[in-house]
A and B are shown apart, each in its own frame.
Chain A
Amino acid sequence: MELKTSNKTRPGTIIEKIKSTKATTRFVLAVLIPSALWYLIFNGIPMIYAFYLSFFKMNFLDPPKFVGLQNYIYSFTQDTDLYLSLLNTVNFMLSTVLIGGIIAFIFALLLNDIKKGAAFFRTVYFLPVVCSMVAIGVLWTWLYQPRFGIINSFLQFIGLGRLMWLQSPDTALLSVIVASIWKGLGFTIVIFLAGLQGIPGSLYEAAEVDGANRFQKIRHITIPLLRPTFVFILITGVINGLQAFTQMHVMTGGDGGPLDSAKTIVFHLYETAFGNYQMGRAASIAFILFVIIVVLTVIQLKFTNKKIQY
């Protein structure tokens, strides 16, 4: 995201001339006051309150009690579920971003290369994107069903063994990852296609004159020029991946999978807050997540502000 400084009103425009009339002031205030109130009630105050809560022991049974840094200390030193869920989250996030990204990149390159049928393929790849994550999770849970699911029937048919998929600690997270990549692929392809279409054709023609082959062109023109797109997909994928919850909750029937193997950090936060009613402890987990996301966003701003040179 590029933040431009606000559009300076050009000298002589009407805005500058009558900017302080009663009518404009009234209009601006009529917009700003309700907006500011909404932002305070639904963002500002909750944010501060969450921070405040993270220093309290609060469970609805006893009155809230100030405990200092204890929630954070507990999170970092004793909360083994947090550690496990953080590990699962990172695993999920890296797999979906990297594997999903590479598959989407290949499909985008191929789609960009054909004329007939590109619209058809794009439509088909995009279908899962418009469906809700819950519906996709429910659908894949059936495909993964160990006894009657079509995936195991297929594996058996081609002579491979059956797997327990969502019901084994070894494969539960993997199963969620595959379904998530499947759901998000069309979105990433469309973003890559938009990037590919922004590369001037003359660059490829010049490379052809120099005798570059297909792969050299991708290596030396496409990939360097798509850098902003790669960075965008990486960062948004990481930020969204860090907050993954829905597919895990749906596909594990709400329990996080065998041995919590598909439990993510938001899942753990949700259970801490709304399963065990440890609001203060949950708030501290939320703030740890917040800090991670802010750091990543700042890195993103640094990256995307660097302009590429043709």
Chain B
Amino acid sequence: MLKKINLFSFFKWLILLTGAAAMLLPFLWMVITSIKINSDIISYPPVLIPNQITFERYRRIFNELNFGRYFFNSIYISVIVTAAVLFTSSILGYVFAKFDFKGKNFLFIAVLSTMMIPFPVLMIPLYLLIGKVGLVDNHLAIILPALFNTFGVFLMRQFMESIPNEFIEAGRIDGASEFKIFSRLILPQTKPALAAMAIFSFMWQWDSYLWPLISQSSSRNFTLPLGLATFSNQYYTDYGLVMAGATVSVIPIIIVFLFMQKRFVKGITMTGLKG
């Protein structure tokens, strides 16, 4: 019996460690490729530990290529969209959770039903729309259609419902305005949901590719995914340079993740369990 348990334990750890290696080695190989000299990159057998390393490619990534710009674009668009989504989701969720008005159920169902619309259905009309109003190759074309997030509205409404009405009552007795009641009394109590939403919304925007690809055309307006994809297509034979580009694209987000991973995982399970 003891032997059987040990055998199981052995395989358990073997599988888990193999899995971890399978996850880590590609990243490691990406970094190693980016600092190897060119002759090492194309040699067989592959040079696992380079004797000679170079950081020249990283200098090029930031000085000659537009990566600094891509980064800036991605960060500022993702921050604006996330801030907007947190605000719109919580205030609309609050109204749906705590107020009664005519047609509320109809409106709520109408809003929820938009979750079923796949983005590819909307992208053609949206493209024609931004063409009409002159927003092609403008970041507003990315930001404006992302100001609301229906799943966020749904999540915040669920969360707001669990807040006792007494808080609103107390605010009204104190003579606070409706907006102040929302922003000072209700919002601070939804921090876990807001944190989860922030992570979900930021990652979703950060990862977004199809719509920026359609709506942006000049390199200075590219987001990081779009810039990286275009650049890797252009320099596809310069493997080291492409891997340097990939490295600078993933390292910052991995560092952020390592610092706040508990929140990340919580946020993902909370928002991931949508549907």
Query: Are these two chains actual partners, yes or no?
Result: yes
Give the CA-CA distance A50 to B100 in the complex, in Å.
34
Q: Are B16 and A150 in contact (CB under 8 A)?
A: no
The answer to whether B268 touches A187, judged by C-beta atoms less than 8 angstroms apart, is yes
| B99-A142 in contact (CB<8A) | no
Known contacts A39-B111, A46-B125, A134-B225; is-contact A243 B92 (Cβ 8 Å): no
A1 to B272, CA, bound (A): 11
With CB as the reference atom, state the residue of chain A lying closest to B245.
A138
Q: Please measure, in the bound complex, the distance between the C-alpha atom of A78 and the C-alpha atom of B161, giving whole angstroms.
A: 52
A114 x B16 contact (CB < 8 A)? yes
Q: How far is the CA of A295 from the CA of B151 in the complex (A)?
A: 19
- B111-152, CB < 8 A from A: 111-112, 114, 116-129, 144-145, 147-148
The 8 A CB mask of A110-148 against B (1 = contact, 0 = none) is 110110010011111111111111110111111101011
- B117, B177, B228: most-surrounded residue (chain A CB, <10 A): B117
Partner of A187, one of B107, B178, B226, B272: B272
Q: Given B145, B203, B225, B258, which contacts A135 in the complex, CB threshold below 8 Å?
A: B225
> Could you list some 21 contacts between A and B, CB below 8 A?
A1-B154, A23-B177, A26-B178, A28-B99, A43-B122, A45-B125, A46-B122, A128-B23, A130-B253, A131-B254, A132-B207, A134-B207, A134-B228, A145-B239, A147-B42, A187-B268, A194-B269, A245-B120, A253-B233, A290-B117, A293-B116
- State whether the Cβ of A282 lies closer than 8 Å to any Cβ in chain B: yes
Stretch at the interface among A12-20, A93-101, A200-208, A216-224: A12-20
Cβ contacts under 8 Å, A283 to chain B? 124
Decide if A7 touches B97 in the complex (CB within 8 Å): yes
Q: Are A13 and B117 in contact (CB under 8 A)?
A: no
Q: In whole Å, how far is A46's beta carbon from the nearest beta carbon of chain B?
A: 4
A49 CA to B229 CA, complexed, in Å? 31
B45 touches A50 (CB 8 A): no
Q: Does A270 contact B (CB under 8 A)?
A: yes
Contacting pair A157 B45 (CB below 8 A): yes
* Residue B10 at the chain A interface, CB threshold 8 Å: no
Q: Are B258 and A123 in contact (CB under 8 A)?
A: yes
Chain B residue contacts of A140, Cβ below 8 A: 26
| Chain A residues within 8 Å of B, Cβ to Cβ | 1, 3, 5-7, 9-10, 13-16, 18-19, 23-24, 26-28, 31-32, 35-36, 38-39, 41-43, 45-47, 49-50, 53, 106-107, 110-111, 113-114, 117, 120-135, 137-143, 145, 147-148, 150, 153, 156-157, 182, 185-187, 190-191, 194, 214, 232, 235-236, 239, 242-243, 245-246, 249-250, 253-254, 266, 269-270, 273-274, 279, 282-283, 286-287, 289-290, 293-294, 297, 300, 304
**B203 to chain A: closest CB distance in Å?**
7
Decide if B58 is an interface residue (CB 8 Å cutoff).
no
Q: Are A153 and B46 in contact (CB under 8 A)?
A: yes
| Cβ-based interface call for B168 (8 A) | yes
User: Which A-B residue pairs are the 4 nearest by beta carbons?
Assistant: A27-B178, A46-B125, A134-B225, A14-B169
Across-interface contacts of A41 in B (CB, < 8 A): 129
**Which residues of A are found within 8 Å of B193, using beta-carbon distances?**
none
Contacts of B264 in A (CB 8 A): 126, 130
Taking chain A's interface residues, is the majority helix, strand, or loop, or is none over half, making it mixed? helix
Q: Which residues of B have CB within 8 Å of A294?
A: 116
Nearest B residue to A189 via CB reads B19
CB pair A6 B105 closer than 8 Å: yes
CB atoms of B272 and A191 under 8 A apart = yes
A287 x B121 contact (CB < 8 A): yes
Contact B100 A16 (CB under 8 A): yes
Contact A42 to B177, CB < 8 A, known contacts A9-B165, A35-B92, A135-B246: no
Query: Which residues of B from 219 to 257 have beta carbons under 8 Å from A?
Result: 224-226, 228-229, 232-233, 236, 239, 242-243, 245-246, 249-250, 253-254, 256-257
Task: Check B232–A50 contact: CB distance below 8 A.
Answer: no
Partner of A19, one of B19, B100, B243, B258: B100
Asked if A47 and B122 make an inter-chain contact with CB atoms under 8 angstroms apart, the answer reads yes
How distant is the Cα of A137 from the Cα of B96 in the complex, in angstroms? 40
Q: Does B265 make an interface contact (CB < 8 A)?
A: yes
Chain A residue numbers with a CB within 8 Å of B239 are 142, 145, 148
Chain B residues near A121 (CB-CB < 8 A): 16, 19-20
Nearest neighbor of B33 in chain A, beta-carbon distance: A142
Q: What's the Cα separation between A303 and B246 when bound, in Å? A: 41
